[in-house]
Amino acid sequence: MQLTGAGALDTGYRIHAGVWAGGRWLAVQWIDGVPVWRAFTLARGPEGDRPCGRGC
């Protein structure tokens, strides 16, 4: 909701969001392009795009 409020996410793009024991999740409509995991590789820091960076 904060992303939508900040204008970073169109209201028609968001499907649902929530909280779970390990953090938060966001479901959005699929659009063709670079997978988000790969697009944010540099933002994750030294673990990069290795499987252990995905919650190991």
Q: Which residue has the higher pLDDT, 6 or 39?
A: 6
**What's the whole-model pTM score?**
0.41
Domain range spanning residue 46?
2-54
Whose tokens are 């900040």? That residue is 6
Q: What's the total number of domains in the chain?
A: 1
Kindly report, residue by residue over 2-12, the tens digit of the pLDDT: 777 887 777 77
Residue 19's pLDDT is: 92
Ranges assigned E (strand) in 1-56: 14-20, 23-28
Distance CA 35, CA 30 (A): 10
Rounded to the nearest angstrom, the gap between the alpha carbon of residue 23 and the centroid of all alpha carbons in its chain is: 12
The count of other CB atoms within 10 Å of the CB of residue 32 is 4
Kindly report, residue by residue over 12-37, the tens digit of the pLDDT: 777 888 998 988 888 888 878 878 77
Residue 40 has pLDDT above 80, yes or no: no
